[in-house]
Structure 1
Amino acid sequence: MKTGKVFLVGAGPGDVGLITIKGMEAIKKAEVILYDRLANPKLLEFAACDCELIYCGKLPDRHILRQENINELLVEKALAGKMVVRLKGGDPGVFGRVGEEAAALAHYQIPFEIVPGISSGIAAPLYAGIPVTHREHAESFAVVTAHDKSEDGKPLLNWEGLARGVDTIAFYMGVGNLPFICENLINHGKPASTPVILIQWGTFARQKTLQGTLADITAKVVAARFTNPAIILVGEVISLREKISWFERMPLYGRQILLARTGESVSGMAQHLMDQGADVIEFPKWKKKVLPVDLTKVSDYEKILFTSPECVGEFFTALFEGGIDIRKIRADFFGVSSKSVKALNARGFSAKLAEEMSESGDLLIVGDDSILRKNHDNADLMVTSKKELDRQFLPIFKRMLAEADVNTMVFPSSASVEQFVEALKECGLDAADVLKDLQVVSMGKQTLAAVAAAGLPSHGMPERAMKEALVAYLAGQPVEEV
């Protein structure tokens, strides 16, 4: 059997837009992905639906997989002929143990590539408004591990060199050793008044910062119960933060949004919300199988209702492959959601939302087999694909939900409500419990009614069922700062 290949990929610090193009290409081609806790799980959604996903997460008090087991798995999967991606948070060469993994692969003569990533020690400060170097404030920069393999975990460092010779220091994952760090920097010549900032979950909307000095930051951390994952940044350059902070001023900074999803791909709404500073967890994750369809009567209908953006593409692909000229179709086109309408508009049709559809006229509903003829008993149904819950993502979703502090729920369509509720049951979760403390927003009147009918909490809707209106609506509802 031909040996496979391994890509040791840096996922970047958290914001999915910060992964490299080469890293993303590797994810899309992967047959197996071994991923860490600090690699944003949303990146896994770009993998093929049959890609095997293996969690290698590490916490300070426990390891899901020890490093030796990870090395063995990389070798095993590659020797089985697989294209393997080892997805690591930040840059794999900065405290990412990539050298050990590469050595294990080299021992078995397995081909591999190392794909650099953006390190959190640089990215997290920038998202907090702090460049790690500056001509007037900092001409040198160091990245330092805040714990090592010693018995007590306290790093053995050249403290005098750091204190006297480096302007800006980034300590990785060092909250537990913060008193030790501050004490040694002060004892070796760093002024006690030197600014310090802790940046937790840098580049995420849940990013939090805590600022002080070497003299008082430890007490502040204890009072705030500040924890890892966090970068500890030390240096005078922190003073620039007040002038050039930018990420925390974005309209949806602090919004951690749970978005109900009915389609297979990452939605345009999710991307727009993230572009405005929000974290977005889309759930559930679906996979599909396209089915053959009967097009013999397609030109007889007066109305065609599309249940998802994906089925729009499937419908027109089927027409083309069936040799049917679109000009033979006389029906008006409608979409269940604004996304479906936009997919039709993009093809040159003046489509409308389902709520604007009249009762009269023969109706064809185009969609997947999870959409029934609700409120349209006399309609015909064209099933273009079979949609299934991607169960491999259920434990991934539960970990994302546990680590985030979700404060907002968005239902983009009426169809999304029941599917979301049922998928949560597959995770052993009750929708009412999950949503009880969240601001629940509905896109459109039909969606609002579906949320109410499901017995879920509801807090209104934007003026229009558009992503721009949603951003304006959420920006007008301030999130309580922690």
Structure 2
Amino acid sequence: MEFAAADCELIYCGKLPDSHTLRQENINDLLVAKALEDKMVVRLKGGDPGVFGRVGEESAALAEYQIPFEIVPGISSGIAAPLYAGIPVTHREYAESFAVVTAHDKSKDGKPLLDWEGLARGVDTIAFYMGVGNLPFICENLITHGKPANTPVILIQWGTFGRQKTLQGTLVDITAKVAEAKFSNPAIILVGEVISLREKISWFEKKPLFGRQIVLARTGTNQSQCAKELMEQGADVIEFPKWKRTSLPVDLTKVPAYDKILFAQPESVEEFFKALFLNQFDIRKIRASFFGISFKTIHALNERGFMANLAEEMPGSGSLLIVGDNSNLKNTANYGLFDLLITSKREPDLQFMPIFKRMLEEAEVNTMIFPSSAAVESFIEGLRECDIDAQEFLKDLQIVGMGKQTMGAIESAGLQHAEMPERATKQALIDYLKAFPNVEE
């Protein structure tokens, strides 16, 4: 979704074995209908679309109407999830063969009709997809048809995400362990001796922020570098709300008169300089010092060759122009007298709201991060659009605010248990989360 155009229509089609947002037949019909409207359609899937991804049915529906299409291969979850758990599915000493198997089918009881003897005796590593409900049936058949009862088994839930969980056992005891742990789909069941390598080469779960399930309050339309770095450290990050922007015409005639120009968002930097170029405005006429409301905004100015300081370092004297979107009328009480140059209209992308609610249902969020003061009210407003009460949602989370102004906005919103890193930088935030985990091990 990060790479979709602002006017892109988003249609959520996520499925679990017992929960289908849209039935497969409806998805096929929808693909055809949208393509016949002469639209560019992307059917985005997790993993590889050709491995239990129903791509055959969907492409056949398109072909029936002579609609041209392209299939882009991916990495199947039966390979990716084990690797993120520290397990290669093949190894010269442990596994020379590998199979991917559906663990439920279209039969009345959902139990797959498989060549159990061929799997048990002829395949070293077996990956069963979405089969937690049929786990006793799987283990029983593998043992009955020749697989040793002490063969290692591991379940990997939410593989490759920071919320990834694993549960390890053998064919004879894994069913009881799953029942006790209340383990559920979405999960890959991996069977084979190659699982013994996990203790040596497990890597993802050793990342410093693994286990962090973070909601990052979002104010901009560009992809967050903070979110990217948190994920690189092993965290699972949901950015919310999702915004869309529409550029507005601007009047630049008074810009040379100001002593200070404060940019309210990184996007406002790009919009401002684009407006200068389109209006053939000579940058040398500007005598003001530049300031940014966040380090991200300052970085955007630095990339254009300008030095800038944080808003909190801005002197009180001198005339001030605030450049940004239509949200600048809020959270500006500390700046005294100022004028506004509104470069764009920013509004929440309402079609993202049901997707966000589904993401929250699937995650176990334990951390809330507000990167700026403007993010606090925007986030609470976004929750209202989802019919979620902010106080209830945040009451058990570790809340982290970036900077004194952000902490003030958090307190004004009635959120009393927030914490703050020493500095409002990405690295300081990461160091703080490492030092004060507040996450169940």
Smaller-chain TM-score bracket: over 0.9
**Contact 2:62–2:68 at 8 Å: present in 1 too?**
yes
Check if 1:413 corresponds to 2:372: yes
Q: Which amino acid aligns with 1:66?
A: R
* Letter aligned with residue 338 of structure 2: A
**1:334 alignment counterpart:** 291
Is 1:225 paired with 2:185? Answer: no
Say whether 1:198 aligns with 2:158: no
Tell me, yes or no, if structure 1 residue 376 matches structure 2 residue 335. Answer: yes
Number of corresponding residues? 439
Q: Name the counterpart of 2:356.
A: 397
Of 99, 107, 118, the match for 2:56 = 99
Give the alignment partner of residue 302 of structure 2, picking from 345, 350, 370.
345
Give the alignment's TM-score, normalised by structure 2. Answer: 0.97
Q: Deviation string for 1:401-453 (max 9, x for gaps)? A: 11111110010011111111112111111111111111000101111111011
SS for the counterpart of 2:10 is strand
Query: What is the CA-CA distance between 1:375 and the residue it aligns to?
Result: 2.6
Q: Which of 399, 413, 428 is equivalent to 1:469?
A: 428
- Using the TM superposition, name which of 326-335 and 153-162 deviates more: 326-335
Aligned residue runs from structure 1 range 186-265, under 5 A: 186-265=143-222
2:366·2:439 contact (CA, 8 Å) conserved in 1?
no
CA distance, structure 2, for counterparts of residue 235 and residue 423 of structure 1: 46
Q: How many Å apart are 1:173 and its aligned residue?
A: 0.4
Amino acid of the structure 2 residue aligned with 1:52? E
Which letter does structure 1 place at the counterpart of 2:172? A
Residue by residue over 1:131-174, the C-alpha shift from the partner in whole angstroms, topping out at 9 and shown as x without a partner, is 00000111000000001111111111111111111110000000
Q: Runs of 5+ in structure 1 lacking a partner?
A: 1-43
Q: In 2, Cα distance between the equivalents of 1:239 and 1:383?
A: 60
Name whichever of 71-80 and 233-242 sits farther off: 71-80
Report the AA paired with residue 360 of structure 2. Answer: L
Q: Distance in 2 between matches of 1:196 and 1:304?
A: 61
Counterpart CA distance in 2 for 1:437 and 1:456 is 11
Partner of 1:444: 403
In 2, distance between residues paired with 1:323 and 1:203? 49
CA distance in 2, matches of 1:122, 1:441: 35
Structure 2 residue aligned with 1:24: none
User: Structure 2 residue aligned with 1:293, among 243, 250, 253?
Assistant: 250
Contact 1:254–1:479 (8 Å) recurs in 2 = no
Cα distance, 1:479 vs. partner? 4.5
Deviation string for 1:206-251 (max 9, x for gaps)?
0000000001000000000000000000000000001100000111
| 1:429 equivalent among 364, 388, 395 | 388
Deviates more, 1:205-214 or 1:322-331: 322-331
Structure 2 distance, partners of 1:49, 1:294, is: 25
Give SS of 1:123's match.
helix
1:324 maps onto 2:281 in alignment: yes
Unaligned runs of 5+ in 2: none
Paired residues of 1:436 and 1:457 also in contact (CA < 8 A): no
Matched to 2:187, the amino acid is A
Question: What secondary structure, in the 3-state scheme, does the structure 2 residue paired with 1:393 have?
Answer: helix
Question: 1:8-407, aligned counterparts within 5 Å?
Answer: 44-372=1-329, 373-407=332-366
Give the secondary structure class of the aligned counterpart of 2:418: coil
CA RMSD of aligned residues (A): 1.2
Given that residues 86 and 201 in structure 2 are in contact (C-alpha distance below 8 angstroms), is that contact kept between their aligned partners in structure 1?
A: yes
Q: Any idea what SS the aligned residue of 1:424 has?
A: helix
Q: Is the 8 A contact 1:431 1:456 kept in 2?
A: no
The whole-number CA distance in structure 1 between the counterparts of 2:149 and 2:194 is 15
Asked if structure 2 preserves the Cα contact closer than 8 Å seen for 1:287 and 1:388, the reply is yes
- Bigger mean CA deviation after superposition, 210-219 or 86-95: 86-95
Report the Cα distance in structure 2 between the residues aligned to 1:237 and 1:481, rounded to whole angstroms: 29
CA drift at 1:377: 4.1
TM score, norm. by length of structure 1: 0.89
> In structure 2, how many angstroms separate the alpha carbons of the residues matched to 1:389 and 1:62?
27
Residues 398, 438 of structure 2: 8 Å contact kept:
no
Return the alpha-carbon distance in structure 2 between the equivalents of residues 227 and 291 of structure 1: 49
Using the aligned pairs only, state the percent identity: 75
